[in-house]
A and B are shown apart, each in its own frame.
Chain A
């Protein structure tokens, strides 16, 4: 990363590869969610807007995009094994004081005054991460099963699991989108962590992920001390 393009100090929270993986995942998941709910609400046989746009029936579109998500997930876990391990480790993390973060959270949604935490993700994000990964894994697994098993008792169970996982993941995803989009005042500006070059304002990182920012800054400072030229990911002023 080069020098800042504006006067606002920014920091790169996620690498380009992670941002592309996230984007590919949510594009496919949104198509799956849309076509899935279209089918679930009894619209099968009547082409959805997505089906009309692509010229592919909703069932086929759901199946093809489901395979695409499976491939994306498999490639992500294979080539990003270290990042995936860090993601899991940071998502199951628990520190003393995290419960206080939850107590203050509802008010902080509006004020932005979050209780300090030390994680890469905030405590609420950690629960959402685990829920999303578990539910997506269930959906990918059962979806693969539904594509392979044509009918019968196994199909019935796979369909039940797939449907219930859809019911549960929908509000979790909507909550994630609401928070990550930065609509709520407390989370304003966080969308930049994953989009538009990943240039997150340092002030936002300080507010939402203070422990991570400090560790990140000290790592960058240490690296800059041993290497004369600054490397990527540093807070830029």
Chain B
């Protein structure tokens, strides 16, 4: 009887662990967003290849309304030069970039679900910054302050 209970516990534990591991794979690791089918995002300002001086405005066009995460709406992550963990959260159509090193940069724009998982719409724009201040986001240990 005691052995049966012990075996049952191991089976139940294994089942719970497996279910949670599957949940982790499906929900945590994949970061899959909600309905990503027809979603799109683009940058109307600055245009690709343009030269800008700090501070400069970024205007994004999204197929879905943007808003604060507390509203359950989508938002946008902007980062530079592949440094995806160091991003600016944009909850409206426009934002200002106030701190970026001078030189050529690739600006990545990613549409995100409210829970920050990727919504499946991304774009990138190459720009040249003149008169930049602060550290280069790709080359410095200290993250730049993007002005929020």
Binding site for B on A (CB under 8 A): 42, 44-47, 51, 55-57, 59-60, 63-64, 66-67, 70-71, 74-75, 78-79, 81, 144, 146-156, 159-160
Contact = CB atoms under 8 A, between A and B. Distances in A.
Nearest to A79: B13
Interface in B1-45: 9-10, 12-13, 16-17, 20-21, 23-24, 27-28, 31-34
A47 B79 CA distance: 13
A71 B143 contact: no
Contacts of B72: 151-156, 159
A150 B69 contact: no
Given A74-B17, A156-B72, A150 B87 contact: no
B125 interface: no
B140 interface: no
A71 B20 contact: yes
Q: Lowest 9 A-B CB distances belong to which pairs? A: A150-B34, A151-B114, A150-B113, A78-B13, A156-B72, A57-B85, A45-B87, A74-B16, A67-B24
A30 to B, nearest CB: 19
A78 B115 contact: no
Contact of A59 (B10, B27, B116): B116
Contact of A147 (B9, B17, B28): B28
A173 B32 CA distance: 33
Contacts, number: 93
Interface of B: 9-10, 12-13, 16-17, 20-21, 23-24, 27-28, 31-34, 69-74, 77, 79, 84-89, 113-117, 119, 143, 145-146, 148
Given A147-B27, A150-B114, 12 more contacts: A45-B87, A59-B116, A63-B28, A66-B28, A67-B20, A67-B23, A67-B28, A71-B17, A79-B10, A151-B73, A154-B72, A156-B72
Nearest to A42: B148
Nearest to A65: B28
Given A71-B17, A144-B23, A45 B86 contact: yes
B69 A159 contact: yes
Contacts of B116: 44, 59
Contacts of B146: 45
B38 to A, nearest CB: 15
Contacts of A44: 89, 116
Contacts of A60: 31
A151 B116 CA distance: 9
A70 B9 contact: no
B85 to A, nearest CB: 4
A70 B12 CA distance: 15
A155 B96 CA distance: 28
Nearest to B5: A81
